[in-house]
């Protein structure tokens, strides 16, 4: 297994991964442990944490911490546990996420839950861990897990889209602040997975669809991208290519430039034009 080149990913360094008990978070934890990092995986699901700890027992030094990232106090407890048991953090992956918020006119409780976990969970992680990275003299790495839905805004779960749009904005601002304050010693990156067969999908689809990537494939792409210094880590999958993603993102951007109706990609009046654009 080849080693990645980001200086924060080094043997003996400490990594914290929220939403680390399954899916992309768990696959990242295993990879980092095998690279020799000491890893803490945080998750709200204590049964999943127990199973994750057992599955990673031979990978390396891994501890688990039950955490509700929507609670700043719970993230404070996570940080205290990591400091006591492992030491200063070099790598933070804010990966915890939920869906099912609803559209703009529905489910206020769902909105609170989705924004609390997806957006404020990332903010709590950033504000609790990253200032110490900045204050140290060590390389640091922050990975925030976004979504293509936060960029192209497909109709349906608007709450989820809003949360992931917020993560994109937060991570862009964080990356600029870190560049100003650390001149590249501490970096932030936005992970944008494609269709991935994670626990969120497994609840509805028992077998991996052919179009989906496995979490391990996302982690491969993540480390390849970090080695290049990429900020936007835009993952393909078995159905959607980089070119298709770029065209979809461009079309969405041009809704504003050309003053088209919101989400024109899904507007029947623009269906033929969008199809021609994708083929062109």
Q: Give dist(CA 266, CA 58) in Å, integer.
A: 48
Query: With contact defined as beta carbons under 8 Å apart, do 188 and 142 qualify?
Result: yes
Residue 90 lies in a domain: yes
Domain that holds residue 57: 14-239
Residues 96 and 156 in one domain: yes
Residue 253's pLDDT is 97
Residue 7 lies in a domain: no
Question: Which residues of the chain, if any, have pLDDT below 70?
Answer: 1-4, 200
Residues 52 and 187 in one domain: yes
Q: Give dist(CA 70, CA 67) in Å, integer.
A: 9
Q: Give dist(CA 135, CA 73) in Å, integer.
A: 22
For residue 242, what are its two tokens? 């980089």
Q: Is position 232 annotated as part of the catalytic site? A: no
Residue 2 lies in a domain: no
Residue 4's pLDDT is 66
- 69 contact partners, CB below 8 Å, separation of at least 6: 18, 19, 42, 44, 75, 94, 96, 117, 120, 121, 122, 124, 125
Q: What is the pLDDT of residues 128-165, one digit of tens each?
A: 999 999 999 999 999 999 999 999 999 999 999 999 99
Residues 51 and 167 in one domain: yes
Three-class secondary structure of residue 93 per DSSP: strand
CATH number at residue 229: 3.40.50.720
Residues 169 and 250 in one domain: no
Of the residues 160, 197, 232, 254, only one is catalytic, namely 160
Q: What is the pLDDT of residues 67-111, one digit of tens each?
A: 999 999 999 999 999 999 999 999 999 999 999 999 999 999 999
Residues 112 and 25 in one domain: yes
Domain tally, the chain: 2
Residues 177 and 266 in one domain: no
Residue 159 lies in a domain: yes
Q: Give dist(CA 213, CA 196) in Å, integer.
A: 5
Residues 132 and 251 in one domain: no
Residues 61 and 162 in one domain: yes
Residue 87 lies in a domain: yes
Residue 198's pLDDT is 85
Query: With contact defined as beta carbons under 8 Å apart, do 9 and 183 qualify?
Result: no
Residues 139 and 175 in one domain: yes
Residues 84 and 167 in one domain: yes
Residue 184's pLDDT is 97
Residues 224 and 254 in one domain: no
Residues 50 and 98 in one domain: yes
Q: Give dist(CA 11, CA 110) in Å, integer.
A: 40
**DSSP string across 150-189:** HHH--SS-HHHHHHHHHHHHHHHHHHHHHHHHHTTSEEEE
Residue 1 lies in a domain: no
Residue 200's pLDDT is 66
Query: With contact defined as beta carbons under 8 Å apart, do 130 and 174 qualify?
Result: yes
């Amino acid at each position: 297994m080849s080693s990645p080149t980001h200086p924060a990913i080094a043997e003996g360094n400490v990594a914290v991964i929220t939403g680390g008990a399954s899916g992309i978070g768990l696959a990242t934890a295993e990879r980092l442990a095998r690279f020799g990092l000491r890893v803490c995986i945080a998750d709200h699901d204590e049964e999943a944490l127990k199973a994750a700890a057992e599955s990673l027992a031979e990978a390396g030094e891994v501890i688990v911490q039950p955490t509700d990232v929507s609670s700043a106090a719970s993230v404070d407890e996570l940080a205290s546990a990591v400091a006591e048991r492992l030491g200063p953090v070099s790598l933070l992956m804010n990966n915890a996420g939920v869906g099912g918020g609803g559209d703009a006119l529905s489910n206020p409780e769902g909105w609170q839950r989705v924004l609390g976990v997806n957006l404020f969970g990332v903010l709590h992680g950033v504000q609790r861990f990253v200032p110490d990275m900045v204050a140290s003299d060590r390389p640091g790495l922050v990975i925030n897990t976004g979504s293509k839905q936060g960029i192209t805004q497909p109709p349906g779960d608007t709450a989820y889209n809003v949360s992931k749009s917020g993560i994109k904005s937060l991570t862009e601002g964080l990356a600029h602040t870190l560049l100003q304050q650390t001149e590249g010693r501490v970096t932030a990156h936005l992970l944008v997975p494609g269709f991935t067969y994670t626990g969120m999908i497994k609840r509805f689809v028992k077998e991996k669809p052919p179009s989906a990537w496995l979490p391990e494939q996302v982690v491969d792409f993540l480390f390849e991208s970090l080695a290049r210094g990429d900020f936007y880590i835009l993952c393909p999958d078995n159905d959607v290519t980089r070119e298709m993603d770029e065209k979809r993102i461009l079309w969405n951007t041009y809704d504003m430039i050309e003053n088209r109706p919101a989400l024109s990609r899904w507007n029947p009046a623009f269906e033929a034009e969008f199809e021609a654009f994708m083929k062109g």
